[in-house]
Amino acid sequence: SATRETLGFQTEVKQLLHLMIHSLYSNREIFLRELISNASDACDKLRFEALDNGALFESDPELKIRIGFDKAARTLTIIDNGIGMSRDEAIANLGTIAKSGTREFFSHLTGDQKQDANLIGQFGVGFYSSFIVADKVTVLSRRAGLPADQGVKWESGGEGDFSVEQVERAARGTEITLHLREGQDDLLSGWKLRALIRKYSDHIVQSIVMKQEKWDEEKKEQVVTEEDETVNQASALWARPKSEISDEQYREFYKHVGHDFEDPLAWTHARVEGRSEYTQLLYIPAHAPFDLYDRNQRHGVKLYVKRVFIMDDAEQLLPAYLRFVRGVVDSSDLPLNISREILQESKDIEAIRSGCTKKILGLLDDLVANDAEKYKKFWQAFGRVLKEGVAEDMVNRDKVAGLLRFASSHADTTEENVSLADYIARMKEGQEKIYYVTAESFNAAKNSPHLEIFRKKGIEVLLLSDRIDEWVVTHLHEFDGKPLVSVAKGGLDLGKLEDEAEKQEQEREAGEFKELLEKIKKSLGERVKEVRITNRLTDSPACLVADEHDVSGNLARILKAAGQ
Ligand code: ADP
Ligand code: MG
């Protein structure tokens, strides 16, 4: 027809398709999980938009997903009556990758299939995984609310381009037809498809229906009938008792809510009763998404009210420093017609937010105590984000501080594995403070002249070189009653760590070199406040020190770089 157009895939999509077909073949079954996951999301989106506009349900309010197959045509179909796509949405959603960090992701690919397959998992495969098993994919869709003549047909062989065409389509939602590649015929079996649905998609809340099959005595084979049958449990996983949920089911549910290809690192599932009643099923992913630092990133915690989906990524449910958490919260108290505005002021949400925060911090404490390897993995992926909590969350500041890990002069390596508690346990006799140095790199911190006296005396110093560390120490003044002190600030008072002889020596020298100090001060003029004799150096002749209440040298550098 006149409206048919052929368009090229974004370069990154082409690369992704090529890689996926070649490296994920041994995992080919996951295409079904991904397409069902999308169908379920589309139903959720319709529900959400229908909160303001009930007409979107048209005359078809029961949301469901249908799976079918046609042996003769060698096709599989996945149909939903969710939100659907307009022509423009089909082009944008099925022709490009909108994630920030996409370009960076592709620059990490090595060409080594095993390694790249692993990376692809971290990136997320989604819709494009259809092409693992299909050499042609046809998508028919109509967006809820648009007239029947505004349907769209999208089609591609998964090579360089795809076509889009305006079509007539009475049914709302999306129908995806996979034309199977050679050798994929085992998928054309009701038994096989049911097994895959139960394995990967049992937790999907909408019904996943298939036509029932019956044994035909004459043909001596299973034949498809006209009766519908729901294949999955179609009940909210989080509402089931914990004892009835297997780890495998928890993991598969995570892959759907977390839009992740890999298993989660840990999860916590609890029903909270009392003033505010809700169920929480929260996961910590095993790796950071590519858009962790993107303020617009989606896919956080989903909010349900009495098992009815309300919204995705309800950011009020957790503080920003826990934005890596995925999962669902299901409230028994909130009204079904809640809006984002109401969420912001709701006392119930406040209680949920503080409860979820405590749960996640508790889960992390648990990892620290029982699974050091996992905590290490967590720290590598999300440590920098967790650090924001020291500034953001006054109520839980000490808890968050206890979870922080730093590099220190104890091991002198870049690895951040020293907790403040470890540090305190190693403090010298008479030591009352936690000492740290901040610098723009680990090496600058490690080699700071300010450390010389500490190294000589065998006092451990935390080596801070993350940008965010400056922020951490401006908000964290003490831990467990021990003040945190920069080794580069103020007159260094080592207190009881300094012996009498050293003090007297310093006073004697101050007198002896008075003239020299004045001379240096005069020649440096406005650039310094003061010139002092010090015992902080053992090898270097001189160093710069910030005043107790001034910004540190490193922070000054950061602010300057940020244009302030
Ligand atoms: P993700 O699900 O992580 O967003 P996908 O590659 O799985 O990534 O899907 C890309 C996008 O295509 C989705 O975000 C959605 O906008 C659109 N999409 C895919 N399947 C459907 C569907 N069945 N109904 C409506 N939109 C869909
Ligand atoms: Mg998806």
Give pLDDT tens digits for 252-287: 999 999 888 889 999 999 999 988 899 999 999 999
Cβ count near 532 (within 10 Å):
14
Q: Cα(138)–Cα(100) distance, rounded to whole angstroms?
A: 27
CA atoms within 13 A on the CB side of 496: 7
CB of 42 closer than 6 angstroms to any ligand 1 atom: yes
* Sheet with strand 301-305: strands edge to edge: 266-272, 278-284, 326-331, 301-305, 308-311
Q: Cα(165)–Cα(185) distance, rounded to whole angstroms?
A: 29
Which of 19-23, 109-113, 368-372 is predicted least confidently?
109-113
User: Which segments of 293-339 are extended strands (E)?
Assistant: 301-305, 308-311, 326-331
**What percent of the chain lies above the pLDDT cut of 90?**
62
For β-strands 301-305 and 326-331, DSSP reports them as parallel
pLDDT of residue 491: 59
Q: How far is the CA of 37 from the centre of ligand 2 (A)?
A: 6
Q: Which residues are annotated as a binding site?
A: 34, 38, 80, 85, 93, 99-101, 122-127, 174, 340
177 or 525, higher pLDDT: 177
Exposure string for 225-246, b = 16+ CB within 10 A, e = fewer: eeeeeebbbbebbbeeeeeebe
| Contact (CB, 8 A) for 198 and 231 | yes
Q: Cα(366)–Cα(402) distance, rounded to whole angstroms?
A: 12
Q: Which atom of ligand 1 is nearest to the CA of 128?
A: 6
| Contact (CB, 8 A) for 180 and 69 | no
Q: How far is the CA of 281 from the centre of ligand 1 (A)?
A: 23
CB of 259 closer than 6 angstroms to any ligand 1 atom: yes
Q: In sequence order, which ranges of 227-271 are alpha helices (DSSP H)?
A: 247-257
Q: How far is the CA of 418 from the centre of ligand 2 (A)?
A: 38
pLDDT band for position 293 (cuts 50, 70, 90): low
pLDDT of residue 498: 67
Ligand closest to Cα of 96 equals 1
Q: Which of 372, 280, 274 lies closest to 318 in space, CA to CA? A: 280
| Contact (CB, 8 A) for 23 and 116 | yes
Ligand closest to Cα of 37 equals 2
pLDDT tens by residue, 115-136: 777 777 677 778 999 999 999 9
Q: Which atom of ligand 1 is nearest to the CA of 125?
A: 6
pLDDT tens by residue, 370-411: 999 999 999 999 999 999 999 999 999 999 999 999 999 999
Q: Which atom of ligand 1 is nearest to the CA of 299?
A: 3
Give me the amino acid identity at 281.
Answer: L
The sign of the dihedral angle between the CA atoms of 349, 289, 27, 186 is: positive
> Average of pLDDT values for 44-57?
90
Q: What does 210-226 look like in DSSP terms, one character per residue?
A: EEEEEEETTTTEEEEEE
Minimum CA distance residue for ligand 1 atom 1: 126
Q: Which of 424, 440, 435, 532 lies closest to 488 in space, CA to CA? A: 435
- Burial of 303 per CB tally in 10 Å (0-12, 13-18, 19+): buried
Minimum CA distance residue for ligand 1 atom 18: 38
Q: How far is the CA of 126 from the centre of ligand 2 (A)?
A: 4
> Average of pLDDT values for 181-190?
95
Q: Cα(280)–Cα(326) distance, rounded to whole angstroms?
A: 11
Q: How far is the CA of 255 from the centre of ligand 2 (A)?
A: 10
pLDDT of residue 285: 95
CB of 85 closer than 6 angstroms to any ligand 1 atom: yes
Q: Cα(451)–Cα(487) distance, rounded to whole angstroms?
A: 7
Q: How far is the CA of 34 from the centre of ligand 2 (A)?
A: 5
Query: Which tokens go with 205?
Result: 């809340």
Substitution site in 34, 93, 298 for ligand 1 pocket (most atoms within 8 Å of beta carbon): 93
Kindly tell me if the per-residue pLDDT of 331 is higher than 60.
yes
Q: For the complex shown, is ipTM > 0.95?
A: yes
| Distances in whole angstroms, Cα of residue 144 to Cα of each of 209, 262, 423, 450 | 21, 32, 59, 65
CB of 127 closer than 6 angstroms to any ligand 1 atom: yes
| Contact (CB, 8 A) for 43 and 206 | yes
pLDDT of residue 453: 86
CB-based contacts of 321: which residues, under 8 Å, 6+ apart?
385, 386, 387, 388, 389, 392, 393, 400
CB of 355 closer than 6 angstroms to any ligand 1 atom: no
| Distances in whole angstroms, Cα of residue 154 to Cα of each of 88, 95, 163 | 11, 10, 6
> Average of pLDDT values for 163-176?
97
CB of 83 closer than 6 angstroms to any ligand 1 atom: yes
Q: Which atom of ligand 1 is nearest to the CA of 83?
A: 25
Kindly tell me if the per-residue pLDDT of 295 is higher than 60.
no
Radius of gyration for the chain, computed over Cα atoms and rounded to the nearest angstrom: 30
Exposure string for 184-202, b = 16+ CB within 10 A, e = fewer: beebbebeebbebbeebbb
pLDDT of residue 404: 98
SS3 content of the chain, % helix, strand, coil (to 5): 40, 20, 35
Substitution site in 12, 37, 80, 127 for ligand 1 pocket (most atoms within 8 Å of beta carbon): 127
Q: Cα(326)–Cα(235) distance, rounded to whole angstroms?
A: 19
pLDDT of residue 493: 63
pLDDT band for position 442 (cuts 50, 70, 90): very high
Kindly tell me if the per-residue pLDDT of 539 is higher than 80.
no
559 or 425, higher pLDDT: 425
pLDDT of residue 297: 60
pLDDT band for position 245 (cuts 50, 70, 90): very high
Q: Cα(502)–Cα(496) distance, rounded to whole angstroms?
A: 11
Substitution site in 41, 122, 162 for ligand 1 pocket (most atoms within 8 Å of beta carbon): 41
Minimum CA distance residue for ligand 1 atom 4: 126
Q: How far is the CA of 35 from the centre of ligand 2 (A)?
A: 7
Q: Which atom of ligand 1 is nearest to the CA of 173?
A: 24
Kindly tell me if the per-residue pLDDT of 222 is higher than 90.
no
pLDDT of residue 563: 61
Cβ count near 267 (within 10 Å):
18
Q: How far is the CA of 42 from the centre of ligand 1 (A)?
A: 8
CB of 39 closer than 6 angstroms to any ligand 1 atom: yes
CB-based contacts of 533: which residues, under 8 Å, 6+ apart?
506, 509, 510, 513, 517
| Contact (CB, 8 A) for 22 and 65 | no
Q: How far is the CA of 93 from the centre of ligand 1 (A)?
A: 6
pLDDT of residue 312: 81
Q: Which residues are annotated as a binding site for ATP?
A: 34, 38, 80, 85, 93, 99-101, 122-127, 174, 340
Phi, psi of 268 (to 5 degrees): -140, 135
First to last CA, the chain: 58
Ligand closest to Cα of 297 equals 1
Substitution site in 38, 44, 65, 297 for ligand 1 pocket (most atoms within 8 Å of beta carbon): 38
CB-based contacts of 552: which residues, under 8 Å, 6+ apart?
438, 470, 486, 488, 489, 546
Q: Cα(156)–Cα(139) distance, rounded to whole angstroms?
A: 9
- Burial of 471 per CB tally in 10 Å (0-12, 13-18, 19+): middle
Q: How far is the CA of 509 from the centre of ligand 1 (A)?
A: 73
pLDDT of residue 161: 94
Kindly tell me if the per-residue pLDDT of 1 is higher than 60.
no
This model's pTM is above 0.90:
no
| Distances in whole angstroms, Cα of residue 171 to Cα of each of 65, 79, 144, 275 | 13, 10, 9, 44
CB of 256 closer than 6 angstroms to any ligand 1 atom: no
Q: How far is the CA of 381 from the centre of ligand 1 (A)?
A: 26
Query: Which tokens go with 247?
Result: 């780890």
pLDDT band for position 469 (cuts 50, 70, 90): very high
> Average of pLDDT values for 159-169?
95
